[in-house]
Amino acid sequence: MNSLIGTYECKIDSKGRLMLPSAFKKQLSSVMQEGFVLKRAVFQSCLELYPMSEWGVLMQKVNKLNRFKKKNNDFIRRFTAGVKFIELDASGRLLVAKDLIAFAGMSKHIVVSSVGNILEIWDKENYEKAIDDAVVDFADLVEEVMGQDEDGIS
């Protein structure tokens, strides 16, 4: 699957339903029937929506971990905490569970943003704050992450 493109402001209703932006529906049309996995993000207070094929790739890596090591077992449990299988309804909406809404601190106004092959779902205010906070250090981060030559020598 190619990388997804876009950032869109949306609304989530009182039942936790959100209409996936049409641009994302078009980009995801080839994998829509497989469904999605919705989970808590690791580093931010937002949610991550994985197409099932991307989730499968990630879980292949996770399943290679030795579960007889406590650290690995603890990681797997926390990484998969709150994971939900998601399908779009006939109207093209997805239902976000109340526990995930609470985790991400979502109010009525949200942002759905592409991050490589997945989507992040944010409370709008939290998204704007995260982007604003990152601006200060972004130039340094770009240089550190992307400023190396192919052979890893800066």
Report the CATH number that the domain containing residue 104 is assigned in CATH.
3.40.1550.20
- Total structural domains in the chain? 1
**Percentage above 90 pLDDT, the chain:** 76
Is 153 a domain residue? no
Range of the domain at 20: 7-146
Helices (H) and strands (E) in the chain, counts: 5, 8
Residue 154 has pLDDT above 70, yes or no: no
Q: Token pair for residue 3? A: 């990388």
* DSSP H/E element including 121: strand 118-123
Provide the pLDDT confidence category of residue 36 given band limits of 50, 70 and 90. very high
Is 46 a domain residue? yes
- What pLDDT, in 10s, does the model give residues 73-86? 999 999 999 899 99
pLDDT value, residue 94: 94
Is 154 a domain residue? no
Q: How far is C-alpha 124 from the chain's CA centre?
A: 15
Is 31 a domain residue? yes
Is 109 a domain residue? yes
- What pLDDT, in 10s, does the model give residues 123-146? 999 999 988 876 667 777 778 888
Is 2 a domain residue? no
Q: What is the DSSP letter of 107?
A: -
Is 111 a domain residue? yes
- What pLDDT, in 10s, does the model give residues 43-75? 899 999 999 999 999 999 999 999 999 999 999
pTM given for the model: 0.86
pLDDT value, residue 138: 72
